Every structure is written in structure tokens, then in C-alpha cells.
Structure 1
């Protein structure tokens, strides 16, 4: 079984993330699925943005009518200042336009700033339905629900809102196109309890602790690393369908950060009857492991082929990629060599 390629926020290496253009391009470039990050508005509409803070991904700062909405909040233990989706209605957010989040690296993408409006989750579902018919293959949605504990605390339960959206869109058919992922496993349980039967993927960081467990258990909360041990992986079996990890956990590196090959995490996850995905495959030197960087400029492409081959050759079940065509190219090359 070949790994699937998931357009990370669409084709976010080429267009401002989470825009219609980014999603359409991801499918055109061969992605098997797209990944919308999901947050909520004040009136309970689910919108797709990298975070609920939207100062760096929209033109909100250029709207004087919203200047007073700038605020400082603590989200999952981190103090942030900016504009937050939960302080806006959808009618207000739809007046904004998307901007490239990484303009210093993605200068070409930044030329599309202010051209595309924001999208709701329901818009993404409709778009994937339409594009699936156009390309004559099913396109999946890997829905990442962000900051569920925080949104619950302000009266915006993401599990309830998400379940309603999925059912209204006709995406609860059990056809394999829907995957739900979160850094908060309790949220995955809640979505499942509401009768949403998409694949459940637990997002794990290389360090730190899941915020829902920190909120519940304080200092006694388990670390992400606890879930990544053999015992932790077997403990997840049957409770989730898989895990998704940063690519640094798939690569075996020495003390100087040089890659010697792949780690055994993919095999360990499969031994525990879990699927495993990783994020994010990016070709720029800034994001590549030290071994694969070429030249001095961080925005230039390095030896991305070698890093992608190392990861895709592990038997991993799926990868998130900002440039889906590059991941598809390497995946298909590896398949042709078998």
C-alpha cells in the first residue's frame, strides 16, 4: 500500500494556506487529501485557519473597523497578542482576505496576498465533493481541530459544532474520505461519541504534553514521549486509528543533527496496529534536516529528494506536504523501483 500524500493546508508552498486556490492546486498536483485546520467564530461557524489568531494570515490589521478587537489571550498556556476568530462573527470574517504566513520564505505565494477570502469548513467539504468528480478519484479531508479545550471553555464545543457540519455536508457516510486529527485525544473521543466515524489520528509532538491532559491533571499529565514508547503505542491501540508526528521523529539523527537513516518509529507503530503519518515535508533549506541543506539561503530548495525518500521509504502510511507534487513524485519513483 503506497503512502497517501496530504496537501498541508492545501498546496501551501505555492498559494496562501487554507484558500480555495491552495486546495484546488493541491488536488491538481496529485494530493490524495487536503488538511484544513479548524477553529470557531463567535457565532459558532467553523472556519479554516492555521490558528485562531489571524493577524499573520489575513489582512485584519488593515481594517480600522476591527482595530479595537486586538487582544492578548492565553491559548493552551501560551500568551498571544493579535486578532482571534472567536471575537468575530462569520459575517465579519468573510470581509477579510488571506495572506501568506511565511512571506520571507514563500515570496511567490505572497504575491497572491489579499486575493482570496477566508473559507468555512463547509466550503472545503463542498469543494472536495466537486473536485472529486472533476478528477474522478475520491479526495479526502484530514480535519485538524485546534484548541478544543480552550474553545470549550468559552462555550464553543468543537466536537458538537464539527459533528453538525460533517452530518450537514453528507461526510459521515463511512466511505473513508474523512479523517479527524487533534493534539487532544479527549476531543477525538468526543467526536466519536457523537457518531462521527472518520479515522481518528492522535497528533504527537516531539516534546511537551497534550493540553487537554495538562488542564485535567496538571503536572501529572503524561508527556507526548510517553505515548511514543512501545508501551504507550500499544496503549493507544484500539483507542485511536493512528498517530501523526513531526518528521524529526521519523529521521534518525546524531548529536550534531545529521541524518543517518530512518528511526524505527514506523515499525513500532505498525507493530501496535496503528497507522502513522508525519508532517511536514518541505523542500526549503529552512525546514530540511541539516544533512539535506544546500547553499546558504534558507529559502532555496535543498536536497529535498533525499529527505523525502528517506521518509517515504519507511513504509509510512501518509505524509503532509506543502508542495504535494514533490511528495507524489518521490512516492511514485519509489514505487517504480519495487
Structure 2
């Protein structure tokens, strides 16, 4: 892995416990003066997501944390994939030896047809290669199709430890995996423990869209936990339990106080912080950040993406009629500054370089960051 000199000198200078200079200054990710930069699936605006290529690029661009989504193989090894269904993120469809593995399953209420990690051993998955999930939007990332195999959580943890950055794993569909005898929590905690990460002060956050597994984890680990919040729908475990509460209910002051009994922060969709209208124009911000801080919770919002089509209309740049407008990068720094003004404690971003420059520019001169080649009342949330 190539690590640029400024990375070695600054972002990943290790402090006791493996904490980076930035995360330490930030108070280890809680409400504080230094928002953290979370490389969402690595730096997936530039490399196929959840690959070591993507995570290495995120480190080089200055991420404080790298984020793997964790799913299980048939032999109970954790690997990083956006979903356990892998037809859009690997070349599995080109492998005739796995043609009969194509099947249809219901995962958290959604009927999906394709190939699923839990039907493959790690050795079998190693024969596949990763591809960009959104090639039309990210041709530069798609240029790296086929160059990386599926990464294990152990490999990602080893990379994070070597680079001195934090880990921000998400348990994907934890209830489903537990139901088929492949729970994610045990091997995840075992891997983190092998690399010395067990304490609240360690640079690790564990996140989930479900609530039950976080509550169970609270009794098993001192590592920090993050309740993810969608802008619509409800946690699958609550749905299955007949609990009528939605993510919006969990985002109220009452819901946040309950979350604070088992988690250290929330990871809300940015739409819960600043809604948009039908045209994508920003509306008045909600009180979610203030309410969460009042409950003692950190707020790490997702996901900040650089492409015009993924930004609020207020921060899109260029002529909408021009070719390539949707995939062209807009004013991401402006959008980030707006969120930092609202007091968020961190951002999940597909472009950690822009976030790094923006965070540093809040209080210090902006340093050059190498970029990979492209190939009125305030409403409550």
C-alpha cells in the first residue's frame, strides 16, 4: 500500500490504543470540535466498494475511519459486501460453475434473485472479482473492475491497524444471518479482539439498522455502538416483533433517549437532518442533531456523495442538459460545510478527500490531498 507522506505525518500518526490524531482530537467520535471522516465502503467514488483498493484509497485520502458492511460466507467467515446478494458487485454471473447457485430469497421482506454469500465458501468467493455497482455513475471506479477479490473482515482490520485508522463495521441483515445459523456478532467481535480493539476508547464503532443486535452487543462489548436511522421504514427486528415504531419514531427526543440506553450515537440519513423537497432543494433543518446531542449521542450522517445526481439541488454544479452532468462532481465542500455548521460529529462519504480538506479547512489551512485518477419554526425530524 502506498501511503503519502502527509498521511504518515498527520492523519495516521498513532496515539495510545491505536487512535489517530484526528479521532483523539475529536473526543473519540462523540460531540466535539473535530468531525470525523468515515470512508464509506472505502473511497467508493474512485474504486469498487468494499475492496482493499477502495479502503487503501480512503486511507491515502485522509479518512479517519473505514467502513465495511459485513456479511457471512457459508463457512462463517465475515466478508465485506454491500449486500449478501452479489450479482451487482462481483463477476459471479460470468462463472458457469456457479450458475446453479442462482436462487431467489426473501431478505428482510424483500424478494431478491441472484447469488448470495451464504451459499459460497470463502474459497469459492475468492475465485470471484469485484466490480463497480454503479458503472454509469462512476466510470472511473469501474475502470478498476476485476482487479480486486472479495475482502475478508480480517484483511480490512489488518489494513486499518497498519494504517492507524479506525474501523466502522456494519452488521448487514443481522437478524437474517442469525436465523440461518450464521450470526455476525461473534466473529466480528473475535476479529476486533484479535487486533486489540475492545474498549470504548478504541477507534471502533459498530453500527446496525436493527435494534435487537445492538442491545445484545451492549452487554457483550465496551466498543461504541451506533444506531442507524433511515428516513423511511422501520427496523426489521421491530417489524418482525410487531412493534409499530418506525425510524422516524426513533428519531424523536423520546426515541433518542431510548437509543441512548444501549448506543453511543446515531447514524441518520442526511434527509433526517436536512429534508429536501421533490426537486431536491434543501428545506429547513430539523432539530435532530440538537436532540441527539441533548441525549448524549454522537451524530454521524450518511451518505455524502460527490456526484450531482446524489447532491441536494442547492449544491449541483453545471448545466443539467450537458452530457455527463449526473456523474459530474458538484459543490461537495459546500454541502459538507452546511452539515458541519449544523453540528454533525462525522460524515460517511464516498469521497474522503473532499471531506478531509473541508474538515481541515474549518480551523487550519487546507493542505493538498492527492486524488486518485478518475477513469420560521424548525420542524422536528
TM > 0.5 between the two? yes
What is the DSSP-based 3-state SS (H/G/I as helix, E as strand, rest coil) of the residue aligned with 1:259? coil
2-side partners of 1:30 and 1:111: how far apart? 22
- Cα distance in 2 for residues equivalent to 1:253 and 1:173: 38
Deviation by residue 1:247-272 (Cα, 9 ceiling, x = unmatched): 11222445654224543211111011
Q: 2:316 is matched with which residue?
A: 293
CA distance in 2, matches of 1:23, 1:225: 32
**Alpha carbons 2:249, 2:255 under 8 Å: kept:** yes
Q: Deviations over 1:8-62 (max 9, x none)?
A: 0101111011111111111111100100000001110000111000110011111
Task: Give 1:335's match in structure 2, choosing from 363, 366, 375.
Answer: 363
Deviates more, 1:104-113 or 1:250-259: 250-259
- Aligned to 1:286, the other structure's residue is in SS state helix
Cα root mean square deviation, aligned: 1.6
What are the Cα deviations for residues 222-276 of structure 1, in whole angstroms up to 9, with x where unaligned? 1111111111112222321110011112224456542245432111110111111
Indicate yes or no: 2:77 matched with 1:45: yes
Q: Which residue number corresponds to residue 225 of structure 1? A: 248
Partner SS state of residue 22, structure 1: helix
Q: How many matched pairs?
A: 328
Could you say which structure has the higher strand fraction? 1
Gaps of at least 5 residues in structure 1 are: 133-138
CA distance in 2, matches of 1:330, 1:121: 29
**Which residue is equivalent to 2:347?**
319
- From the superposition, tell whether residues 3 and 163 of structure 1 become closer, same or farther in structure 2 (CA, over 3 Å): same
In 2, the alpha carbon distance for the partners of 1:321 and 1:207 equals: 21
Alignment-derived partner of residue 191 in structure 1: 217
**2:233 corresponds to 1:208:** yes
Determine which of 141, 149, 154 is the counterpart of 2:167: 141
Question: 2: distance between equivalents of 1:234 and 1:171?
Answer: 27
Counterpart mapping for 1:156-305 below 5 A: 156-194=182-220, 196-217=221-242, 220-254=243-277, 257-260=280-283, 262-294=285-317, 295-296=319-320, 297-305=325-333
What TM-score do you get using the length of structure 2 for normalisation?
0.83
Partners of 2:277 and 2:109 lie apart in 1 by 31
Instruction: Please state whether the residue corresponding to 1:278 is helix, strand or coil.
Output: strand
31, 35, 45: which is aligned to 2:63?
Answer: 31
Q: Which runs of 5 or more structure 2 residues have no equivalent in the other structure?
A: 1-32, 366-381
Q: 1:254 to 1:17 in 2, by over 3 A?
A: closer
